[in-house]
Amino acid sequence: MLRSMPLRLAGGLVLLFSVVSLVGLAASYVYTQASFEMTMRADLTQDMAGFRAAPSAAALATLVEAEARSTDPERVVLSYFAPNGRHYGNAVVARDADGYRILSDLPGRPEITGRYLALTASLRGGQLTVARSRGQIDALRGVFLNILGLSLLPTILIAPSGGLILARRGAQHVAVIGGTLDRLTSGDLESRVGDVRGWSDDLARIGTKVDQMAQSQENTVASLRQVSSDIAHDLKTPIQRVAVHLHDLSQSDDLPGHERALVDKALDELDGIVSVFHSLLQLTQIESGSPRARFAPVDLTELCQTLCDVYEPSAGENGQTLNCVLPETPVRPVTGDRNLLGQVLANLIENALHHTPKGSTITVSLSQGASHVDLTVQDSGPGIPEAERDLVLRRLYRLDRSRTTPGNGLGLSLVASIAQVHDAELRLGDAGPGLRVTIVFPG
């Protein structure tokens, strides 16, 4: 929040306003102080001119004494030393090693503190000093400091507060955009920023562009899925017909053994092709969300036990061990399609059987927490490198070492799609050694 643009902008404006105010008030202070000093010097000159009009030393002493009686020495100091050495006035200007001091004409002569602007002249054989207090000039500094504080304080309080409010609003809008992008990256192509009315113009434009991008991406993916579905639909029937013809040919009695073997290989290849098309069609159906209409409570404990019983003989024939580790108390049911969840478990077990060597152990386990149920299939085979764990979820992607083993690269893609339609999270991890596949169901 502290590094957000609105707060930085508010801080910059406060700093700029402070500098401008400081410079402006400093210039005003210097100019006002200079004006006050000029006025004070003019007053001193005028005062001195009035005293110069006295015709004699006695007249000047009388005039100074008369003015001194009505003048406060804290404001104006009058001091006249007559030719006979006698002092007249309301204070005495004395000089010592530390400089000039002003002593009151009262008994005991207490010192008068403060700064004065003085003018001294020799008149009628004596010495006259007129000094005016600089108190008003010195008070200007405090006045200007107060003005500076009063002008800056509201700005310092209001501008960051406004910037903080704008930053919080901006952070909320950025969080909405970020959340939408996160959901889009995780595969939720229907996610949108939504209504941006009341947003700042820049963030509103970004939100609109994100929605346009998401819509374009969704349309593109939908088109690709439709194309793959159309291709699968269009080619499935002719391929099945070819398979029927080859099967009829393989039943011919006069077919030589070598040609019969080639026909059998072609039939096996066609079976694999039909399996790919079937999986593509099933992926399209699952991603459309249509299986949700058949959702019902599913007992995963019973499903795991059934699939383990089905595949245990195959594991034994391959020299592998299939373990089913289930809790004593059945886990709570999850909402889903039992056939699809059974296919998920079957695909994971078959993957483990196909891609692990003899002597490997495959474990199917169930566990539950306060808000989730976990289905895990773990093996002790070579596993999947961390850099390729996201790639194996793509359609038709196969690891280099798996290209010589049975499969079409759609097994984990199908598992991921079924998990997504069940609002479950698919996690691929390292079993050390081996692969751990966990599906986390909500509920």
3-state secondary structure 94-124: EEECCEEEEEECCCCCCEECCCEEEEEEEEC
CB 362 within 8 A of CB 350: no
pLDDT in tens, 371-392: 899 999 998 888 777 767 666 6
Q: CATH number of the domain that 238 lies in?
A: 1.10.287.130
Helices 201-250 + 135-185 axis angle, to 10: 10
Q: Are residues 9 and 84 in the same domain?
A: yes
Q: Are residues 50 and 101 in the same domain?
A: yes
Nearest Cα to Cα of residue 170 among 212, 213, 126, 201: 201
DSSP-derived letter for residue 404 is: T
Instruction: Compute the average pLDDT of residues 35-57.
Output: 91
| Lowest-confidence segment of 22-31, 221-230, 247-256 by average pLDDT | 221-230
Q: Are residues 264 and 326 in the same domain?
A: no
DSSP-derived letter for residue 389 is: T
CB atoms within 10 A of CB 43: 15
Q: CATH number of the domain that 333 lies in?
A: 3.30.565.10
pLDDT in tens, 298-334: 899 999 999 999 999 998 888 999 999 888 888 889 8
Q: Is the pLDDT of residue 404 over 50?
A: no
Burial status of residue 333 (CB atoms within 10 A of its CB: 0-12, 13-18, 19 or more): middle
Burial status of residue 296 (CB atoms within 10 A of its CB: 0-12, 13-18, 19 or more): exposed
Q: Are residues 229 and 344 in the same domain?
A: no
Number of residues written out for the chain: 443
pLDDT in tens, 183-240: 887 667 788 888 888 887 888 888 899 889 888 887 877 776 666 666 666 676 777 7
Q: Which of 255, 287, 319 is the last residue of a domain?
A: 287
3 state SS of 390: coil
CB 112 within 8 A of CB 78: no
Q: How far apart are CA 350 and CA 410, in angstroms?
A: 12
Q: Establish if 184 belongs to a structural domain.
A: no
Given the structure tokens 């398979």, which residue do they identify?
243
Task: Provide the number of structural domains found in the chain.
Answer: 3
255 lies in which domain range?
A: 201-287
